[in-house]
Amino acid sequence: MKKPESIKLAGVLGNPISHSLSPHLHGFWINKYSVNGYYIPLLVNRTEIGKSLDALKTLGFRGANVTIPFKEEVIKYIDYISETDAKIGAVNTLSINIKGEITGLNTDVYGFLKNLEKSIPQWEKFVDNIVVIGAGGASRAVVSALKHKKIESKKIVNRSAQRANFIKDQIDENLEIISWSQLDEVLENCDLLINTTPLGMNGQPPLNIRVDLMNKGSIVYDLVYTPLETNLIKSAKENNLQTVSGLGMLIFQAIKGFEEWFGKKPQADEATSLFLKRILQ
Ligand code: NAP
């Protein structure tokens, strides 16, 4: 008798977790590619990420995504990580091999850049000056993604100077740290503005930035995708700027994990995006 194929398991570890779109996204691809598997949202006690990883190994999970607040702490518990991802100091994708060894990856770097390239293929031709708002985990991935691009100036502004300094020291020494009071002046010469803070997200205060000071045709990229159209994106559109939403980044960052766990490379196509947009509406 033919041995039945084993059921492939993966999930997302976080706290809170019910808001996560990842189970919808991976569930959509599991159906689309007829995978014999499940992707499960897993609420993890804040002090028990290590124990949770042991449980995943015991239960035969092939891996997991990691989200707030574990992306940094989880590094303590993994066996393999690339030098670049170790410098970023955060991983969002775990792969568990048959020996129970865990490899951690940061796929936000790829997701961020691929989404920008797909949304505005010509971006590198006219972007000389970039401003990044925020200096948390997502910002570290963004700065790392832009590090080797030929860009005249890259600036970062954050509430706490300490975290911005960390990014400059660890990831890109060419980064210039600016204060909020310098922002308006800097925006006049900014071709690409990137919001990596949760400001503008449902339940958070809006991010109030004078995008009207930016040149026509410049790009505003908001990593926040709930709501689909943030206030920042709305005002960028009103000022005839180009916009990039974080939803595409979410989709692109998920490709590598799905391929690792379920053995098929999913397409980040229009159908995937429409499916998620319907959930968010
Ligand atoms: P994080 O590590 O907690 O960092 C948050 C950043 O936002 C920090 O720089 C923090 O400043 C700043 N911030 C928070 N509240 C603020 C406020 N009221 N005023 C000013 N600054 C504030 O979070 P993260 O992991 O980087 O995630 C940030 C956002 O990116 C979240 O909304 C997340 O959903 C989104 N994200 C999206 C994707 C995607 O695929 N589209 C991927 C990753 C993350 P301090 O350093 O001063 O605290």
Model confidence pLDDT, tens digit, residues 223-245: 999 999 999 999 999 999 999 99
DSSP E strands in 108-186: the ranges are: 129-133, 153-157, 176-178
Look at the chain and report how many structural domains it folds into.
2
Give the residue, by CA position, lying nearest to ligand 1 atom 4.
136
pLDDT single digits (tens) 62-76 = 999 999 999 999 999
Give the rounded distance of the alpha carbon of 151 from its chain centre: 21
- Residue closest via CA to ligand 1's atom 19 equals 159
State whether 158 and 228 are in the same domain. Answer: yes
Residues known to be catalytic: 71
Check pocket membership of 137 for ligand 1, CB cut-off 6 A: yes
In a shared domain, residues 148 and 21: no
Position 1 in a domain: no
User: Would the CB of 195 count as within 6 Å of ligand 1?
Assistant: no
CATH number at residue 181: 3.40.50.720
Whether 245 is in the pocket of ligand 1, judged by its Cβ within 6 Å, is: no
- Does residue 83 sit in the same domain as residue 211? no
Nearest to 156 by CA among 147, 145, 148, 165: 165
Residues 162, 268 within the same domain: no
Closest C-alpha to ligand 1, atom 43: 138
For residue 15, pLDDT beyond 80: yes
Residue 101's CATH number: 3.40.50.10860
Q: What is the pTM of this model?
A: 0.96
> What pLDDT was estimated at residue 1?
46
Query: Are residues 215 and 87 part of one domain?
Result: no
Q: How confident is the model at residue 216 (pLDDT cuts 50, 70, 90)?
A: confident
DSSP H or E run through 273? helix 270-280
* Residue 33 belongs to domain spanning: 8-107+248-280
- Which ligand 1 atom sits nearest the alpha carbon of residue 134? 9
